[in-house]
Structure 1
Amino acid sequence: MHEQTVLLDAWEAALLPRRPDVVRVGLAVPLTGPLALTAPSALDLAGLAADETNAAGGVRGRAVELVTVDSGRPPQAVAAEAAALHDADAFDVLVGFHTSAVHRAVEAALAGRVRYVFTPPHEGGRRRPGVVRIGSSPRAQHTAALGWLVRHRRARRWALVGNDYVWPKAVHRAATGVLGGLGAEVVGQALVPLGVDDPGALLDLVRRTRADAVLLSLVGRDLVTFNREFARAGLDRRVVRLSGALEENGLYAAGGDSTGELYACMPSFAAADGTVDAADDEGQLALQERHARRAGPTAPVVCAYARGVYDGVRLAVALAEDGAAPRPAPAVPRLALADGLAFRAVRPG
């Protein structure tokens, strides 16, 4: 087996002399903050992508090293560190998995001086030179899922609940337009700061508005906290929930769901029942098998966010190799139903 890829601390990389036979990929992953529960999966899948590149000969014979940056901190702190690390020649290309607030700050600080691949669902709008976004925009991610739930679950009265930053705001704007076109209505909205300890006011909003569906753009630990308290309040069996940020780690942390009313729309799921499209299923299963061989039986789950990081590192390597790698087509978001601790894919139609 090929030796596993070196994973360097950011400032260690900045201080160590650069070897000419190494390409460094910056890896901005949330090691702290609400999204930190996804970090083990993301780091593992980034390592797998680098391992596979190195086993195939690297970047024109140069080995890939990964340089970690904690992107779970406030946006300006992450952006300032990313810019300083680039100035110190700590990385050649950057892969980012974090909130869109951090994304906006980082792309402004780097100002097109280095290629920057942003992997999760994004806020839409224009992108700066040098930035490649491989996730979905809010409308592309949510439209099909909202339509299916309106038609098949009779979800007509929607409450929109999210964290107070750029991505949830963009999701709310997109969802309001989509739902209006479907004959449904938005009956209440709320945006709350990151770090939700007590979602009681959000639950009250759902009750007060008599919503029969909730669109959740809470992220990470905040999404987990809301789903736990939603179930404790007894709302989970009569109110449909849809999230564009719920992945496998978040489902595990919330204790799963067996109501048949919790849905998620992400580009990939480790669907346990083989209901995803054949080509996607084959690729996802193969990735899980390679990850299990690398990390062993206690390997973190291959979640949707981690899959994006894997794809982002592969793209970053291609950019480092020739600087002109084709921009990938965004993955098509799929609708999935939480079924215990796993997801079951739902075919739109």
Structure 2
Amino acid sequence: MDPPPLSLRRPAWVAADPSVLGVALVYPMQGPGGIFGPGCEACARLAVEEVNGAGGVLGRELRLLEVDGGADPRRVAAEVEALVAAGAVQGVTGWHISSVRQALAPRVAHRVPYVYTALYEGGERTEGVFMTSETPAGQLLPAMRTLAEARNVRRWFVVGNDYVWPRATARAARRYARECRGRMCGEAYLPLGTDDFADVLRRIERTDADGVLMLLVGSDAVRFNRAFAAAGLDARALRLSTLMDESMLLGSGPGATADLFSTAGFFASLADGNSMDFHGRYAARFGADAPVPGSLGESCYEGVLLLAALIERARTLDVTAIGATADQVRYEGPRGLLGLDGRHVRQRIYLAEADGLDFSVVAQLPSPQRLV
């Protein structure tokens, strides 16, 4: 039996007002991912305000209903399903881990459009689910190739949390290492919320790894960065993460980010026209003390824009009709003018190196032939 919903927030305005289109924003308010939750909320709220300022979606005003995506996946799914059944929301978006997506998609995606914004392991094909973020084929493989060529990294050790995204990504990384004339020399998977990395660090030290692939979420990655640097391992192996944004650098501290690389479709330090316009609007709306809008938070801005564009293009909330026109959708945001390929957004991917508490983009990575 499913546990009861966390809180059934069903405002009367959603069910009663046909001029309103409710959107469940599912993002982590607790747990390891809670470190970038405030950025997720702020970026999504800015996108909603801008969409509404331009006339809304099908003439209806977007309004967010926040759901804690850091809770147990079954509880998150039960809460969102209850909101859909009550007519409180007509769409779902947000950043949350793959375990939440796997619980949520079968229960709501056939009823309302669901835009998933987190980087993930690839392979999601549920009707009604659309993805804005990165997959290993387009993100990890070209990053490993680039580091193999530029830094001669051949021997990788994987440290990840113990759930579907890290384990599936590591399976892909084993193939990628061989393609780069290298190998995987060790793997370790730890529960979400781990704060003791002593055993893993000893394992890394006993290997000849010259690269550590970090597949850790939020504050787990922050604690690992600190422990890794304190053990002196940053002097012998670089780190590469596909889930590392500026909020996590701030949490790690400048002494724990040497030779740390991240790969993503967006970094706060990007200086093209789209990203600079976004930063200007974000700063004007939330002020200088707002959360840094790194790639994870910014993905929620993308999620709102894509959800709005999908519904506008189909001219209906019907999931089947939205899917039928999805390949024709184009929208413009901080990552540029984007479109969909097989329900995945095709976008530019970058490799960046930590420079203290910020990222410096060092390369735009070559586009893959396939996204998943």
Q: What TM-score comes out, normalization by structure 1 length?
A: 0.91
Name the structure 2 match of 1:72: 70
1:77-100: per-residue Cα shift (whole Å, max 9, x none)? 111111111111121100031001
In 1, Cα distance between equivalents of 2:37 and 2:257: 28
| Regions of 4+ moved over 4 Å | 14-17, 257-260
Counterpart residue number, 2:80 = 82
Equivalent residues of 2:67, 2:80 under 8 A apart: yes
Q: How many residues align?
A: 334
Report the counterpart of residue 351 of structure 2 in structure 1: 335
Task: Judge conservation of contact 1:257–1:341 (CA < 8 Å) in 2.
Answer: no
Alignment of 1:13-32 (within 5 A): 13=10, 17-32=15-30
Match of 1:288 among 279, 284, 305: 279
1:120 paired residue number: 118
Say if 2:3 is the partner of 1:12: no
Q: Which moved more, 1:108-117 or 1:294-303?
A: 108-117
Q: 2:370 maps to what in 1?
A: none
Q: Give a deviation string over 1:15-40, Cα, whole Å, max 9, x none.
A: 55431111111100111111011111
The answer for unaligned runs of 5 or more in structure 2 is 1-5, 317-321, 330-338, 367-372
1: distance between equivalents of 2:212 and 2:189? 13
Go from structure 1 to structure 2 and tell me whether the alpha carbon gap of 1:64 and 1:53 turns closer, same or farther (over 3 Å shift).
same
Could you tell me which runs of 5 or more consecutive residues in structure 1 were left unpaired when the two chains were aligned: 1-8
TM alignment of 1:209-288, pairs within 5 A: 209-256=207-254, 260-271=258-269, 276=270, 281-288=272-279
**Residue 346, structure 1, aligned to residue 362, structure 2:** yes
Q: Which amino acid aligns with 2:157?
A: A
CA contact (8 A) 2:8 2:82 kept: no
The aligned runs of 1:106-255 (5 Å cut-off) are 106-255=104-253
Structure 2: distance between partners of 1:319 and 1:88: 23
Query: How far off is 1:320 after superposition?
Result: 3.5
- For residues 264 and 191 of structure 2, what CA distance do their matches in structure 1 show? 23
How much does 1:260 deviate?
A: 4.6
Question: d(CA) in 2 for partners of 1:258 and 1:14?
Answer: 45
**Contact 2:226-2:256 at 8 Å conserved across structures:** no
- Cα offset for 1:237? 2.1
Aligned partner of residue 89 in structure 2, secondary structure:
coil
Query: Does the aligned pair in 2 maintain the 1:162–1:191 contact within 8 Å?
Result: yes
Shift of 1:13: 2.7
For residue 350 of structure 2, what is the amino acid of its counterpart? R
Pair 1:297 & 2:288 matched: yes
From the superposition, tell whether residues 60 and 181 of structure 1 become closer, same or farther in structure 2 (CA, over 3 Å).
closer
Q: Could you say what secondary structure the match of 1:31 adopts?
A: coil
In 1, the alpha carbon distance for the partners of 2:124 and 2:96 equals 18
Give the residue type in structure 2 aligned to 1:11: L
Distance 1:196 1:145 in 2: 27
CA distance, structure 2, for counterparts of residue 175 and residue 12 of structure 1: 41
CA drift at 1:47:
0.7
Q: Partners of 1:120 and 1:259 in 2: how far apart?
A: 23
The 3 A distance-change label for structure 1 pair 330 and 256 is farther
Q: Which is further off, 201-210 or 179-188? A: 201-210
Tell me by how many angstroms 1:76 deviates: 1.1
Q: 1:205 to 1:332 in 2, by over 3 A?
A: farther
Structure 2: distance between partners of 1:133 and 1:255: 31
Q: 1:76 to 1:308 in 2, by over 3 A?
A: same
Aligned residue for 1:35, secondary structure, equals helix
Which residue does the alignment assign to 1:5? Answer: none
Amino acid at match of 1:88: A
Distance 1:172 1:230 in 2: 20
Residues 152 and 173 of structure 1: CA distance in aligned 2, closer, same or farther (over 3 Å): same
SS in 2 for 1:60: coil
Equivalent residue, structure 2, for 1:318: 309
Distance across 2 between alignment mates of 1:318 and 1:25:
14
**Structure 2 contact 19–61 (Cα < 8 Å) conserved:** yes
Q: Residue 112 of structure 2 aligns to which amino acid in structure 1?
A: V
Report the aligned-residue RMSD: 1.8
My pick for the range that moved more, 109-118 or 35-44, is 109-118
Give the Å deviation of 1:258: 7.5
Distance in 1 between the 2:216 and 2:169 partners? 11
User: Alpha-carbon deviation of 1:61?
Assistant: 2.9
One-letter amino acid matched to 1:21: S
Q: Partner of 1:338: helix, strand, or coil?
A: strand
Cα distance, 1:111 vs. partner?
4.9
User: Shift of the alpha carbon at 1:298?
Assistant: 1.0
Q: How far did 1:139 drift?
A: 2.1
